[in-house]
Structure 1
């Protein structure tokens, strides 16, 4: 093995670690996006219920 190969070997290993970590970050970001989308759906549902309750109360002011 020549000197250039010996010097590049740890660089290659480090680059592989960087690539693996970037892949993990992408996976985590995907999980965060999925969770955020679920929260958005839940917030929309709660908002709809509140609007429906408000409308029902306005239609029946004796409540």
Structure 2
């Protein structure tokens, strides 16, 4: 939802730059999320992920 709102505002505000960069930026975010998932999987397999070495800071009632 947030990305859709940002894209809508960007397109209304600066049509020329949105037409030029909008789809490239969106594709970059999608690729970045995919790479983040791969890194997360590697950390999970290596046994150093957040659920093993992380903390419960900012978790409700200390449980996440």
Give TM-score, length-normalised by structure 2. Answer: 0.47
Structure with bigger RCO (C-alpha 8 Å, 6+ apart): 2
Larger Rg over CA atoms: 1
Give TM-score, length-normalised by structure 1. Answer: 0.47
Higher helix proportion (structure 1 or 2): 1
